[in-house]
């Protein structure tokens, strides 16, 4: 086997992955492009291991190690993308310039927004959450919204 064939294929895969990382806005497509680049590296490792006929098969061992690392990376990356989507309702990388709260969110003005922490009322309990009473979650949301509106009017 000539060493040129897998190296050329790996170079093409790697360059397609680099293009995907630089040109894509969707975070999931960026993660897929990074995985494509890692697979190009794995192809090179196995190809050179076969070419050099290493007795310890170091290239294959490193390939297995990078596959495990890539699996952990994609799991963590998808978890982060899922959390970003739940909070921001988007996964476009260009629009994620800040790590803080979006403007207008509770706690964005410097006051801490801790779930269940009410400045002027009781902490909601399990019994009255759905009843709409003074300690319910709906009441807490209304109080937070009015507090944010008052802060906005003061500035």
Higher pLDDT, 17 or 88: 17
- Record the tokens describing residue 138, joined without a space: 């709906």
Give the pLDDT confidence score for residue 103 in this predicted structure: 63
Q: Which of 80-84, 95-99, 138-142, 151-155 has the lowest mean pLDDT?
A: 151-155
Answer whether residue 96 is part of any domain: no
Q: How confident is the model at residue 96 (pLDDT cuts 50, 70, 90)?
A: confident
Residue 95 has pLDDT above 70, yes or no: yes
Are residues 11 and 72 located together in one domain of the fold?
A: yes
Domain of residue 123 covers 101-155
Contact 87, 96 (CB under 8 A): no
Whole-model pTM above 0.85? Answer: no
Rounded to a whole number of angstroms, the CA Rg of the chain reads 25
- 26: three-class secondary structure by DSSP: strand
Are residues 117 and 65 located together in one domain of the fold?
A: no
- Record the tokens describing residue 41, joined without a space: 């590296």
Give the pLDDT confidence score for residue 105 in this predicted structure: 62
Give the pLDDT confidence score for residue 11 in this predicted structure: 95
Q: Identify the CATH number of the domain in which residue 21 sits.
A: 1.10.287.3510
Give the pLDDT confidence score for residue 146 in this predicted structure: 77
Give me the DSSP letters along 33-54.
HHHHHHHHHHHHHHHHHHHHT-
Rounded mean pLDDT of the chain? 78
Contact 104, 148 (CB under 8 A): yes
Question: How many domains does the chain divide into?
Answer: 2
Residue 109: phi, psi to the nearest 5?
Answer: -90, 10
Q: What is the mean pLDDT of residues 118-139?
A: 53
Give the pLDDT confidence score for residue 129 in this predicted structure: 47
Give the pLDDT confidence score for residue 18 in this predicted structure: 96
């Amino acid at each position: 086997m000539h060493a040129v064939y897998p190296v050329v294929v790996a170079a093409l895969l790697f360059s397609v992955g680099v293009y995907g990382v630089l040109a894509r806005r969707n975070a999931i497509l960026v993660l897929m492009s990074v995985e494509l680049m890692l697979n190009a590296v794995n192809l090179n490792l196995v190809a050179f291991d076969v070419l050099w006929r290493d007795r310890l098969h170091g290239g294959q061992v490193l390939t297995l190690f990078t596959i495990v690392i890539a699996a952990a990376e994609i799991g963590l990356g998808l978890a982060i993308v899922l959390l970003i989507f739940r909070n921001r309702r988007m996964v476009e990388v260009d629009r994620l310039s800040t790590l803080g709260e979006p403007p207008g969110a509770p706690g964005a003005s410097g006051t801490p927004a801790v779930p269940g922490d009410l400045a002027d009322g009781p902490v909601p309990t399990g019994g009255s959450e759905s009843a709409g009473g003074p300690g319910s979650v709906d009441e807490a949301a209304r109080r937070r919204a009015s507090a944010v509106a008052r802060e906005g009017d003061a500035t």
